[in-house]
Each structure stands twice: as C-alpha cells, then as structure tokens.
Amino acid sequence: MSDAMIHVEVTYALPEKQRLIGLDVPEGTTMLEAARLSGIDEQFADLELGKAPMGVFGKVVANPAGHILKAGERVEIYRPLTADPKLNRKKRAKEKASADKG
C-alpha cells in the first residue's frame, strides 16, 4: 500500500437499521479491508464480514478480499436472501392468474 489516501464509503442495511460510513483508507486497500477498518461489523451483531457477499454500486464482487478499491467507491455489504426469488415469482404469477379469473 502507498502513502496516498482515498475516500470510500461502507454501507450495510437491515429493514430497521442502516449505516453508511465514510472513511479514508490507503491506496491499495481491498474491499474487505475497508469493511473491517470501518468497524461496521461492531454495529451489527450478526454481520460476518468474511462471509457476507459484497459489491460496489450494486454490482456483486466475487472476491472482496482481492478487489482493490478506487477513490469514491461505495462498498455495499449484502444480507442473505430471506425468501427464494423463484418461489416468490411463482406465487405472484399464481395470484395474478387467480385475480384474472375472478
């Protein structure tokens, strides 16, 4: 890592609580390192940074430990899905079909 610093943001959200933390990190800092430096995991008891999926501006990053951040990027820590998207689509389609008949 160099001596130059960049500004990034780290965010995580639950339905009842959201956090966005801005911080300056050395150039060459990875996504996972920035998340740890932010201390966001101390504010959410169930958050495991090493296991949580992460992305930048809505794009999932497969390897957060290897993704070098650029100035201004926002690290998004994603929650696990609480419902299966396929099942939800089937349910909505079934409800729509029932509504169309009635």
Q: Cα dist. 98→63, 90, 92, 95, 102 in Å?
A: 43, 12, 10, 5, 6
Domain boundaries, the chain: 5-101
Domain 5-101: which topology?
Ubiquitin-like (UB roll) (3.10.20)
- Give first-to-last CA distance, the chain, whole Å: 64
DSSP conformation class of 41: G
pLDDT tens across 18-65, in order?
Answer: 999 999 999 999 999 999 999 999 999 899 999 999 999 999 999 999
* pLDDT score at 102: 64
Q: What is the pTM of this model?
A: 0.77
